[in-house]
Amino acid sequence: MEQEPTWAVGRVAKRCGVKVSTLHFYEEKGLIRSWRNQGNQRRYKPEVLRRISVIKAAQKMGVSLDEIKHAFSTLPNNRTPTKEDWQHLSQLWHDALNRKIHQLENLRDSLTGCIGCGCLSLNSCPIYNPDDELSSQGLGPVILDSK
């Protein structure tokens, strides 16, 4: 009977480009799982590399750890996730990521003009937001938020 491959915590950390303490943190948050061998050392299945990579990529895109945990709760913990499992996960984030992309594009394209925040510091502000009239429409950058 062939034994299932396992990875030590240091090997996982090195391969994923994270600190060992990060793995412990992810485990504490319920994002990844390990078990202890007979020597009481943490061991991981190889598929943990994909989970950690997804965590890192999602965080770079602004997805919170709570959102990641929620999405991971739809994946199996006791077996290697299939391509279909990962497809399901990507669908959970698809619309949210598109909204974030749209918001980032709006921010990029609006930074040089009035965004309706009430500062009235740019020459264009009195044209788009005279006397901060936009404050009646809500808090924060109302022009930016309405795009």
Q: Domains in the chain, please, with CATH? A: 7-110 (1.10.1660.10), 111-147 (no CATH)
Give the Cα separation of 142 and 125 in Å (integer): 12
Give the Cα separation of 35 and 87 in Å (integer): 27
pLDDT of residue 107: 84
Give the Cα separation of 64 and 23 in Å (integer): 16
Give the Cα separation of 103 and 75 in Å (integer): 29
pLDDT digits (tens, 9 = 90+) for 85-139: 888 888 888 888 888 888 888 888 888 888 888 998 888 888 889 999 999 999 8
Give the Cα separation of 47 and 45 in Å (integer): 6
pLDDT of residue 2: 55
In the predicted structure, residue 4 carries a pLDDT above the cut 90:
no
pLDDT of residue 65: 94
pLDDT of residue 70: 87
pLDDT digits (tens, 9 = 90+) for 14-68: 999 999 999 999 999 999 999 999 999 999 999 899 999 989 988 988 889 998 9
CB atoms within 10 A of CB 66: 9
In the predicted structure, residue 1 carries a pLDDT above the cut 70:
no
61, 100 contact by CB (below 8 A): yes
pLDDT of residue 99: 87
pLDDT of residue 3: 65
What predicted TM-score, i.e. pTM, was given to this entire model? 0.70
- pLDDT tier at 78, thresholds 50, 70, 90: low
Is 116 exposed, middle or buried (CB count within 10 Å of its CB: 0-12, 13-18, 19+)?
Answer: buried
